[in-house]
């Protein structure tokens, strides 16, 4: 975040050194687009998209505020165009930021467990028909229940799964 803000400040400082404003605004626009690409590739939780929106708006604002040569365009038209471009850029950037953040949330959402652990496990707690306890199977802790009373430190085999609770039976 801070390094991106610093890069924007350096680009704005170039204007003070006499670099053409149109060149700096073009660099800002390209930099804003690169920030959106970084957001898509790296998933910075919207930080790069927010800075990208700000940078694009700043780049477009600098392009419009300093025409190449004197024109016959009235100053109020330049102001209206500037406001329109900034509003459109901010709106588009906010929509894009929202879409990116939602896409990242979908990707990072925890997937439900949909497989049944196999092999033998060991009971860590006593389990029974109405008593849920923990078992250790394949190095993972699972909640389990059984149709029969099973004491602690018994070897069990998985029979079924209901949600996050396994149904086990004593190994014969």
**Are 61 and 12 within 8 A, CB to CB?**
no
Nearest residue to 59 (alpha-carbon basis) of 41, 94, 43, 35: 35
The whole domain housing 60 covers 2-108
**Residue 80 domain flag:** yes
Q: What is the pLDDT of residues 116-167, one digit of tens each?
A: 788 889 999 999 998 999 999 988 899 999 999 999 999 999 998 888 899 9
- Residue 45: the pLDDT is 80
Q: Which residues pair with 7 in a beta bridge?
A: none
Give the residue-averaged pLDDT of 49-73.
76
**Residue 49 domain flag:** yes
End residue of a domain, out of 66, 85, 108 = 108
CA atoms of 48 and 44, how far apart (whole Å): 6
pTM reported for the whole predicted model: 0.43
Answer yes or no: do 66 and 16 share one domain: yes
pLDDT greater than 90 at residue 101: no
Mean residue pLDDT of the chain comes to 85
CA atoms of 110 and 99, how far apart (whole Å): 19
**Are 86 and 135 within 8 A, CB to CB?**
no
């Amino acid at each position: 975040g801070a390094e991106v803000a610093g890069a924007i400040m350096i680009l704005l400082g170039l204007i003070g050194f006499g670099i053409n404003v149109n060149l700096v605004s073009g660099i800002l626009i390209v930099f804003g687009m690169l920030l959106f690409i970084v957001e898509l590739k790296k998933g910075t939780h919207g930080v790069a998209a927010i800075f990208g929106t700000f940078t694009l708006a700043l780049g477009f604002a600098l392009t419009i505020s300093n025409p190449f040569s004197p024109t016959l365009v009235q100053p109020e038209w330049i102001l209206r165009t500037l406001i329109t471009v900034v509003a459109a850029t901010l709106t588009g950037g906010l929509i894009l930021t929202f879409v990116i953040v939602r896409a990242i949330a979908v990707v990072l959402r925890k997937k439900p467990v949909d497989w049944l652990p196999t092999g033998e496990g060991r009971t860590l707690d006593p389990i029974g028909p109405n008593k849920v306890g923990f078992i250790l199977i394949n190095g993972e802790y699972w909640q389990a229940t059984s149709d029969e009373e099973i004491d602690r430190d018994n070897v069990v085999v998985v029979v079924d799964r209901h949600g996050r609770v396994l149904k086990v039976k004593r190994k014969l």
